A = this chain, B = another copy of it.
Amino acid sequence: MEPRPAAPGPCPGDSRVAAAAAAAPASSLNPAEARAEPGRRAPSVAAVLPAGGSGERMGVPTPKQFCPILERPLISYTLQALERVSWIKDIVVAVTGENMEAMKGIIQKYKHQRISLVEAGVTRHRSIFNGLRALAEDQPNSKLSKPEVVIIHDAVRPFVEEDVLLKVVTAAKEHGAAGAVRPLVSTVISPSADGCLDHSLERARHRASEMPQAFLFGVIYEAYQQCSDYDLEFGTECLQLALKYGHINAKLVEGSPDLWKVTYKRDLYAAESIIKERISQHICIIMDTKEDKNHVGHHLEEILKNELNHVEVTSGALCPAGRDLKQIILEQCYNYVCVNVLSSDFEETQRLLNMLEESNLSILYPVVVISVYFLDYKSVHFDQKMENLMQIREYAKEVRKRNILLCGLLIYYPQDEQKLQASLREGAAIITTLIKERNSGLVGQLLIA
């Protein structure tokens, strides 16, 4: 089963957000507490991410860890997933000299924290070894300290959850080594020298070894120090090194399907769809709450709730103090429907946009804002008012620079109740489409329901 979509991580640059996230149950997990042995010291944990790959299987010139998803490089999503876990003290990323400056730019732009960069080696194993060396404190001027347990993860597995990280760390502390595994999707076979089937392996008796893995630092560091050039050049599996050189049979932990490795172009498509789906799970409808409960804005809210029954639809107010809305922004809602009840200008929308810009919410994901107007446009001619609304194009261009996708939506508001319901449903369908697609190509449009 596909896991339930998780809330995206807190915006790491916003200390209020970090505080809110730390207060949430998921982030209060702790390797020591989880083992239900109160008083026992939690192990210090660091993570190493080899990110030196060239991505040749992708068929594109950009290494896959730097391929953009919603305009942000894949590796930034993976860093975000690790950063959310407060008990991971240091995250060491191994990148090639060629990509070092680009990586620094990514860390700065997306405000990643607790990241150290080391130079990647020519193979995955050499990159990991470089990362471990940086943690081993035998390097001069290192700001890093040697952890008790080290997580090894791939830069191209962005959907790793705290839960599985905790499981591998806990198991590593007990067994010395641990790794996530998954059932095989295809049967594995062994070919003969002439390219024919020699034998096939029983699927139920084998597992695919995935990431994350975790090790007692001493175990894996010693294994790397002992291992041969052949291992460093051609090996791929850290669990195998712990077995070969440390005589440790790693504990295997069943992982969820979302641990899969972004390998081919289709995996980028899949990752983009998953991310879009995750950030579309919460829609905030903003309207003047002093309004009559029977107001058409509430009807729209009801229809959205009914049609998107897996989506959380909440409503907030910009006034009096706008405290509600600040809370909703803090909870990382990436979708806003601003119902303009009293006016046909952009005052309310403008205030919302200002709040969003101040919050830094759109640093990590594009935020969709839909400014809704009600008008009996079939009885009135397209007039000055309509032209006013067209100004949304200019606002949209401006906020687009800050990753906010603004559209207008004019909903037909006839006297006839049945017709009104029909146009509200149409409006809800357009809102759903704009949020789902999250495509910057349509910003500034005034859509009509």
Q: Chain A interface mostly helix, strand, loop or mixed?
A: mixed
* A279 lies within 8 A of chain B by Cβ: no
Contact of A190 among B187, B206, B274 (CB under 8 A): B206
Q: Confirm or deny: A137 has a beta carbon within 8 angstroms of a beta carbon on chain B.
A: no
Taking a contact as CB atoms under 8 Å apart, the answer to whether A203 and B249 are in contact is no
Q: A196-B249, A250-B196, A382-B383 are in contact. Are A185 and B261 (CB under 8 A)?
A: yes
15 CB-based A-B contacts, threshold 8 Å: A57-B257, A181-B189, A185-B261, A186-B208, A186-B210, A188-B209, A189-B206, A189-B239, A200-B239, A266-B270, A381-B382, A381-B383, A382-B386, A393-B448, A445-B448
Docked complex Cα distance between A432 and B439 (Å): 11
A113 at the interface (CB under 8 A from B): no
Q: Which residues of chain B are near A270, meaning CB under 8 Å? A: 266-267, 269-270, 273
Is A68 among interface residues, defined by CB-CB distance under 8 A?
A: no
A114 — which chain B residues lie within 8 A by C-beta? Answer: none
Knowing that A197-B250, A382-B386 touch, tell me 4 more A-B residue pairs with CB under 8 angstroms: A196-B251, A257-B266, A269-B270, A269-B273
Across-interface contacts of A266 in B (CB, < 8 A): 2, 257-258, 260, 270-271, 273-274
| CB-based contact A439/B441 at 8 Å | no
Given contacts A203-B236, A237-B200, A185 and B251 within 8 Å (CB-CB): no
Whether a CB of chain B sits under 8 angstroms from the CB of A105 is no
Please determine whether B190 and A200 come into contact, CB atoms closer than 8 angstroms.
no
Q: Point out which of A198, A240, A434 has the most chain B C-beta atoms below 10 A from its C-beta.
A: A240
Which one of A430, A432, A433 has the highest number of Cβ atoms from chain B below 10 Å of its Cβ?
A433
**Given the known A-B contacts A2-B266, A197-B252, A249-B198, are A189 and B207 also in contact in the complex, defined by CB atoms under 8 Å?**
yes
Q: Considering the complex, which residues of chain A in the window 360-384 have a beta carbon less than 8 Å from any beta carbon of chain B?
A: 381-383
What are the residues of chain B within 8 A of A57 when measuring CB–CB? Answer: 1, 257
Task: With A181-B191, A236-B203, A441-B430 as known contacts, state yes or no: A2 contacts B264, CB within 8 Å.
Answer: yes
Cβ of A267: which chain B residues have Cβ within 8 Å of it?
Answer: 270
Interface residue A184 (Cβ < 8 Å from any Cβ of B): yes
A447 within 8 A of partner (CB): yes
Let me know if A433 and B439 touch, CB within 8 A. Answer: yes
Shortest CB-to-CB span from A408 to chain B, Å, is 11
User: Residue of B at shortest CB range from A250?
Assistant: B197
Interface positions, chain A 1-24, Cβ under 8 Å from B, are 1-2
A81 within 8 Å of B (CB atoms): no
CB A179 to nearest CB in B, in angstroms, measures 8
Chain A interface residue count, CB cutoff 8 Å, equals 81
* Min CB–CB distance A397 → chain B (angstroms): 10
Q: How far is the CA of A434 from the CA of B270 in the complex (A)?
A: 20
* Bound: A333/B27 CA distance, A: 51
**Contact between B441 and A252 (Cβ–Cβ < 8 Å)?**
no
Segment 147-188 of A: residues with Cβ below 8 Å from B: 175, 177, 179, 181-182, 184-188
- B243-A199 in contact (CB<8A): yes
Pair A429/B441 contact, Cβ less than 8 Å: yes
- Judged by a CB distance under 8 angstroms, whether A41 is at the interface is no
Min CB distance A120 to B, Å, is 20
B-facing mask of A207-250, CB < 8 A → 1, else 0? 11110000000000000000000000010110110010000011
A398-413 vs B: 1/0 string, CB under 8 Å? 0000000000000000
When distances are taken between beta carbons in the complex, the residues of chain B under 8 Å from A203 are: 236-237
**What residues of B have a CB within 8 angstroms of the CB of A187 in the complex?**
208-209, 236-237, 240
Q: Is A387 an interface residue (CB 8 A)?
A: yes
Q: How far is the CA of A146 from the CA of B184 in the complex (A)?
A: 34
Given contacts A184-B188, A266-B2, A266-B274, contact A252 B195 (CB under 8 A): yes
Please report the C-alpha to C-alpha distance between residue A386 and residue B390 in the assembled complex, in whole angstroms. 14
Q: List B contacts of A191 (CB < 8 A).
A: 181, 205-207, 252
